[in-house]
Amino acid sequence: MPNPDPRIDAYIEKSAEFAQPILRHIRSMVHKHCPDATETMKWSMPHFEYKDSIFCGFSAFKQHCALGFWLGALLEIDSKSQKAMGDFGRITSLDDLPSDKEFARLLKAAMKLHDSGAKLPARAKPSADKKELEIPPEFLSAVKKNKAAYATFDAFSYSNKKEYVTWYCEAKTDATREKRLAQTIEWMAEGKRRNWKYENC
């Protein structure tokens, strides 16, 4: 394996036992079919770069793994698993990955896209008659109690507000919701957007 990144070695070793063979297989396939790819860590997850651009990345969670191509939206990918982060849904075993033949095809197709200078399609502009954001009363009440946080929230664009509100509303338990609300107030008091951690990577 050319120039392995020790941070990825450590990431795989710390991953759940079920995830390790999945991650090692992905890593091996990328190096086999895209020998010019180099390893790195971005957003605390293993990634591969090809010709100085992000090529693909993988990650492990408690009960599943994820794999995504940077230009995945331009590839013909048939996921066999439930939807999740990445292009292949929830990967819980090697069987959830594409066959080696199909994986190789996708890697080569992705390289061609990068070689051609392909770009992801631009996101559609929001319509002028966009609905007003529905903010839970308890969320707004808590934010207003912190002047700095509320000043940031009030000055945010629609999309920045929506990111925080959606994150709060998607919590599955009251405990998680309260934890996210406290984190929201802390970050907004510091003038930070919801995904501030990834903005300077």
Task: Please report which confidence band the pLDDT of residue 125 belongs to, taking 50, 70 and 90 as the band edges.
Answer: low
Segment 30-56 mean pLDDT:
89
- pTM, entire model: 0.57
| Domain of 193, in residue numbers | 137-198
Token couple for 192: 């930070």
Chain segment 135-145, per-residue pLDDT in tens: 888 898 899 99
Q: What is the pLDDT of residues 63-106, one digit of tens each?
A: 888 888 888 778 777 655 445 566 787 889 999 888 899 999 99
Residue 99 and residue 141 in one domain? no
Domain end residue (candidates: 47, 81, 115): 115
State whether 83 and 168 are in the same domain. no
Residue 124 has pLDDT above 70, yes or no: no
Residue 123 maps to a domain: no
Give the number of domains in the chain.
2
Q: How far apart are CA 185 and CA 172, in angstroms?
A: 19
Task: Identify whether the C-beta of residue 107 lies closer than 8 Å to the C-beta of residue 72.
Answer: no
Confidence (pLDDT) at 4: 84
* Average per-residue pLDDT for the chain: 84
Note whether 193 and 142 are same-domain residues.
yes
Taking the C-alpha atoms of residue 182 and residue 49, their distance in angstroms, rounded to an integer, is 36
Q: Give a yes or no: residue 77 inside a domain.
A: yes
Do the strands 53-60 and 38-42 form a parallel or antiparallel pair, or are they unpaired?
unpaired
Q: Does 11 reside within a domain?
A: yes
Q: Are residues 19 and 80 in the same domain?
A: yes
Please write the tens of the pLDDT for every residue from 177-196.
999 999 999 999 999 998 88
Whether residues 23 and 58 share a domain: the answer is yes
3-12, 129-138, 152-161: segment of lowest average pLDDT: 129-138
Residues 110 and 184 in one domain: no
